[in-house]
Structures are given as C-alpha cells and as structure tokens.
Amino acid sequence: MTTSALPAGPVELAKLIAYQPASVVSQTLLKKPAGTVTLFAFDAGEGLSEHTAPFDALIYACEGAATFRIGDQDHAISAGQILRLPAGSPHALRTTTPFKMLLVMIREPA
C-alpha cells in the first residue's frame, strides 16, 4: 500500500498490516525524497539485527512490546510509546510479544 492507496479519512494504523507466523512484515506507507514512513508487524520472538542509519528515526509502538538496543543500552517499548533512534547509532530490535510499529525516517536536506 502506498499513500495513494490510503483512504483520505482516519484509519486504525494497526489494522493496515497483519502478523505472519514466525515473520517480520513491512509495508511502506509513504516514500518521498525527504524520508519514509513504514509500518511493521513482528511475530513474537522476531526482530532486526544490529544496523545503523545515517539519519534519525522515530518509532511509534502500535501494539505489543519489544526491546530496542541502542548502542549498549536496552530500551523497552510498548503500545502508545515512542522512541528516537539517533543517527549513526547501532541499534537492534527483539520482540517479546507480537509487535506492530510505525517507523518514520527523515533525511537531512542535502
């Protein structure tokens, strides 16, 4: 689904993506030169390995709970909370329950 496929009115964010057993599912909602907005659904016990991004990212937890490791610190996050991932900081994710999140990445102007 892209922005053109999103309805013009309000939608329940978590209903735009479904869990898949033993999987990570992602769906890009918006992709522009300035950044992307991506919705993720993780089954319990799934995650993302450590990586970095050249710009800040903002996580909004829609459902469930997960632990983000940023550098050498763990941060628990659950539905309704947000977390900033600083540019250039190694980070990883491990879910403790089925987990849905919205990832907003905004690039610095050139």
**pLDDT beneath 50, residues of the chain:** 1-2
Task: Spell 15-32 as b/e; 16+ CB within 10 A means b.
Answer: ebbebeeeebeeeebeee
pLDDT tens digits for range 33-60: 889 999 999 999 999 999 998 889 999 9
Q: How far is CA 101 from the centre of its chain?
A: 4
Q: Determine whether domain 31-106 maps to CATH 2.60.120.10.
A: yes
pTM over the 0.95 mark: no
pLDDT at residue number 1: 45
Q: How far is CA 64 from the centre of its chain?
A: 12
Cα distances (Å, whole numbers) of residue 37 to 21, 44, 96: 23, 22, 23
**AA letter at 84:** R
In the chain, where are the structural domains located?
31-106
